[in-house]
Structure 1
Amino acid sequence: MGIVKDTLFKVSNKKFLPIFNKQTIFPYYHIVRDNQVAHIENLYEFKNCSQFISDLNLLTKIYKPLIPKDVLENKISNNSFLLSFDDGLQEVYTIIYPILKEKNIKAIFFINPNFVDNNEGLYKHYISIIITYLKNNGFEKDTLDKISDKFSFTYNSVTEFKQKFINIKFTEREKVNDVLNFLNINIEDYLKTHKLYITKEQIQEMMNDGFYFGGHTMSHPYLDKLSHEEQKAEIINSIDWLKHNFDINYSLFAFPFSDKSISKKLLEELLEYDGNIKIFGNSGLKKDIDFRIIQRFSLENPNKQIDKTIVEENLYKYFNKVIGKYHIKRK
């Protein structure tokens, strides 16, 4: 539906925004910073601090900020918003947290316990680091050939190489470590120097200030590539890790990558695991099979104005109602 959404964004007008303020919205981001960084720059674009502050100013002008506790207690009022941030990157502590604290806006941060304290990292972030290294060395063909041979793909250009390398399967992530070694990239040193992810101490500090944390799976896999039991373990273990390490009694979770392939059976088991759990997807303004499953949309694209994005998401909601896809069907 990329063409449809692109078209709706073009016809969106910020003057329509007051029409869509009688609702609760759940925007999300990953990172906010003013310059590029190797482990992100080849994966996606993001907003700088000025753009993020501008987003917050507009959101608080149109909507009321929700407290995560109210969502857990089902006290969700109309004309409100709740921000969330995925992946537990260092910037949620160094940049996002101070800004939100100054503006008295609470949020939920979804983290992968395996990456907390920077002992290891997400393989996608490793891939981006590798691509930046290759770029800095002129994308030498002999090196590209050896890497593509390891993953059994062919390419006709550097652009095609990058696209295929970025999209390698989760099950082949160990080969990424082989590439790091082949290129003499010391990933342990990179993690120690750049501190990609937040620490337990930082999480505790943020919790003490009224911010909430949820699981995002242990290792950020593509869940549809795992068995049912593996999916369930990745999810519940990430929630339990937070409970055991920070003495909290609530359950929050957000799906990595996408929730589109998640089965009805898995969702029912998660809802049974904790009757008060809140589960977050990223399918936009849609209704799921249970009110405890909340759908979000991204405000991360720096090339899209927030007011037009909110209008676009609402127009897309009505489009989905017309074609019968507003209510998510789970198999």
Structure 2
Amino acid sequence: MGIIKDTLYRISNKQFLKNFKNQSIFPYYHIVRDNQVAHIENLYQFKNCKQFLNDINILTTNYKPINPQDLLNNKNLKNNFLLSFDDGLEEVYTIIYPILKKNNLKAIFFINPNFVDNNEGLYKHYISIIVTHLKKNNFEKSTLDKISQKLSFTYNTIEEFKQKFINIKFSEREKIKDILVVLNIDIKTYLKEQHPYITKKQIQEMINDGFYFGGHTMTHPPLNQLTHEEQKKEIINSINWLKENFNINYSLFAFPFSDKSISKKLLNELFEYDSNIKLFGNSGLKKDIDKRIIQRFSLENPKKQTEKQIVTENLYKYFNKLIGKYNIKRK
């Protein structure tokens, strides 16, 4: 969270939540499940079904749910909430979708088309699979040395190795595939048996049931590691893929990793592509340069109390107003 947010979280009280209902909120998640899975467990923590149901209870008690169509119709929303889910993981269909249906809630699911149907996977997920494999072999030093040499980094401890390995650049992703081969990890079999991602058939079923889908780039790169034209292509191609495959007439997109480096030029080009596009960031309760850019915050951390997290986001909003950082600036 950062020092300021951690401090605000410690001093916050869930009883304060009733005082923070004048602004709509847009919480997001990636996955909900009751046990660990190799392609996620080394990347981030997530909530189980019981915790997610508790979140839904808190949100529906304190806020009114948004139908994404109201957002697309530019309705004035106040004291509302809208859930969204990034990366198109299989659990959005097998776990999250049934829970939302039962609670009469709609949501937006942001997907990477290259991974739909499980023929290919996200490089970060491959890294997590490799770390799980290394863990099972007690992080054998000779293997760690081979990997670090291939990726041109040095390390002194296992923790330092993991940190550097998990944070390698997008441009190194092809080397990750080579490491899978060296370690005898059959990634095609993993994708076939574990099916980490949603399928076209599942997406169609959810769309037919009134749920919404948006692009999340084709391959989930950190956009700040791409050229301007590469960024634009990744974004627009992911939206167009949904339109072409599912006959939808709207444009929704969520920036992967972070939206902080996104330029004003790129945003204007996306607005030219579709003047009614809705873009989703993850900068919390902040005001962006255009109302079509919606800022979200994560409720995924299972160690944080949901009411206190929402209170913290609101307190952080007022802190940012005091120091002049509430309004996002784009270059």
**TM-score, with structure 2 as normaliser:** 0.99
Q: Letter of the 1:8 partner, please give it.
A: L
Partners of 2:319 and 2:141 lie apart in 1 by: 46
Q: Letter of the 2:160 partner, please give it.
A: E
Shift of 1:17: 0.3
Shift of 1:21: 1.1
Which residue does the alignment assign to 1:133?
A: 133
Which residue does the alignment assign to 1:270?
A: 270
Report the secondary structure of 1:161's partner residue: helix
Shift of 1:209: 0.6
- CA RMSD, 1 decimal: 0.6
Contiguous gaps of at least 5 residues in structure 2: none
For residues 72-102 of structure 1, what are the alpha-carbon distances to aligned partners after superposition, in whole Å with 9 as ceiling and x for unaligned? 1111421110000000000000000000000
1:167-182 paired onto structure 2 within 5 Å: 167-182=167-182
Q: Are the equivalent residues in 2 in contact too, given 1:66–1:80 (CA < 8 A)?
A: yes
Q: Are the equivalent residues in 2 in contact too, given 1:24–1:76 (CA < 8 A)?
A: no
Which residue does the alignment assign to 2:249?
A: 249
1:1-331 paired onto structure 2 within 5 Å: 2-331=2-331
Shift of 1:22: 1.8
- Deviant stretches of 4+, over 3 Å: none
Partners of 1:240 and 1:78 lie apart in 2 by: 31
Q: Letter of the 1:174 partner, please give it.
A: E
Partners of 1:284 and 1:183 lie apart in 2 by: 40
Partners of 1:21 and 1:81 lie apart in 2 by: 10
Shift of 1:23: 1.6
Q: Are the equivalent residues in 2 in contact too, given 1:26–1:295 (CA < 8 A)?
A: yes
Partners of 1:123 and 1:324 lie apart in 2 by: 37
Partners of 1:272 and 1:6 lie apart in 2 by: 39
Q: Are the equivalent residues in 2 in contact too, given 1:215–1:239 (CA < 8 A)?
A: yes
For residues 113-160 of structure 1, what are the alpha-carbon distances to aligned partners after superposition, in whole Å with 9 as ceiling and x for unaligned? 000000000000000000000000111000000000001111111111
Report the secondary structure of 1:201's partner residue: helix
Q: Are the equivalent residues in 2 in contact too, given 1:180–1:186 (CA < 8 A)?
A: yes
Partners of 1:153 and 1:292 lie apart in 2 by: 41
* Aligned residues between the structures: 331
Partners of 1:296 and 1:155 lie apart in 2 by: 35
Q: Letter of the 1:147 partner, please give it.
A: I
Percent identical: 77
